[in-house]
Amino acid sequence: MPQAVAEQVPLQTPRLPRRRAVAQRLSVIVVNDHLYADGGADVVALNSAEQLAAAGVPVTLFVADRQRSDDHCQRRARLVCTGQNDLMHEARRGHAAVQGLWNLAAARAMRKLLAEHDPACTVVHLHSWTKSLSASVVREARAAGFSIVCTLHDYFAACPGGGFFDFQRGAVCRLRPMSGACVRTHCDSRSYAHKLYRVARQVAQSRLGGLPGELRNFISVSAFSASILRPYLPGDARLFPVRNPIDSPRGAPADVAANRNFVVVARLLQIKGQALFLEACRRAGAAAVCVGDGPDLEALRRCFPAARFAGQLPREKVVAELLAARALVMPSVWYETQGLVVNEAAALGVPAIVSDGCAAVDAVRHGYDGLHFASGDVDALTDAVRRLNDDVATAQRLGTQAYQTFWRDPPTPQAHAQALLDVYAQILALEQPLPARAMS
């Protein structure tokens, strides 16, 4: 455990001459496993690359896996792709195991890319690395003297499982990551052997990649997740709070009072809490809709035949489901790091009911623009669902407040890109002093 606590750094504007000098020369390398949206980290990484490039910043998007065609960022950002599969989709299991521990091909590609850039004015922005790239790319950037910033989309910087969650017990894990007790505990969703593989990967990440111990710059997406990760970051780390972007045009708010559905939007997984949600809706006599796909689908269908399972939907149809909702429910039984869908619902004027044990509580004020309930407590969630199901006026009031709060200061993609530029400028000002001519 670090003896000091990571510093929370408010976004600041560096001295004007310095900021101009940085802005004129800045380039960014965005590092992400995928060139397609397989999760929230991918959405943020790809969106930020596109927005930064649109703002005139030279951006290179460094990825491993481009097996799908929705690579919209190629329109503005330069693409460097190693052409490797996601580990889960790699048929050669031995090859996948080695790649996950230390991806030599990605390291070589990163080394070649870095040789084309000036470390004095280039920031390497790390989003995801555990699904294809590995921490080998981080080591290359460190060795070449580049400034690195890592967005903490998950908990892989500390926890070998990435979520501080024990799948065997179905509960949050309170053990210190990588301690003897942690290594001995079978917490993986698959097998203890797979847990040991994750431990080996964490050792390689930490000792060879230097992540997180040798990094100094991190972006937190919520105060909740920052508080969980802070003890495992270096004592002299800088933690920059930057909200994830929500790309939602402003329209008329949903008619919450006329809607009946309670909606969950998430992968159908144990940690997402759909079984808890569906049981609460059954007890409250409320209409339940699950948007998303996943390994728990058939089991949930058998247990809750009255619920509607909409499956994996394109964005416009997810929006349609939310517009028809009385409330969004986020019943996650793990920590989460933010929960983008809560803000997406607020942008539509739909209130949210969220677990008080996950990061979504940062986005919802209980009784003002949504409701909290005790994490994992089906009775508490039933009471919250029943309250909004029976009390139309309260549901409408909460939805109106959520809508007004969101649009008072919306985290648009453009605002997110500007916040990133401010972070980059601060990092370069602290770590990479420019020559006297550039400073003048």
Tell me the one-letter amino acid at 246: I
Q: What angle do CA 30, 344, 35 make, to 5 degrees?
A: 25
- Confidence at residue 66, expressed as pLDDT on a 0 to 100 scale: 76
CA–CA dist 390, 393 (Å, integer): 9
CA dihedral 127, 131, 137, 142 (to 10 degrees): 50
Smallest CA-to-CA distance from 424 within 129, 122, 189 is with: 122
- Work out the pLDDT band at 136, boundaries 50, 70, 90: very high
Predicted model pTM: 0.90
**DSSP collapsed to 3 states, 278-295:** HHHHHHHCCEEEEEECCC
The residue with tokens 């004020």 is 365
Please answer whether residues 106 and 83 qualify as being in contact, where contact means their C-beta atoms are separated by less than 8 angstroms: no
Mean pLDDT of 289-300: 97
| 382-411: b (≥16 Cβ within 10 Å) or e | bbbbbbbbeeeebbbbbbebbbebbeeebb
Q: Tell me the pLDDT tens digit for each residue of 345-398.
A: 999 999 999 999 999 999 999 999 999 999 999 999 999 999 999 999 999 999
**Structural domains of the chain, with CATH:** 7-157+211-245+413-439 (3.40.50.2000), 256-408 (3.40.50.2000)
The rounded percent of the chain whose pLDDT value lies above 90 is 86
| Side-chain half-sphere CA neighbours of 316 within 13 A | 0
- Top mean-pLDDT range of 80-94, 95-109, 421-435: 95-109
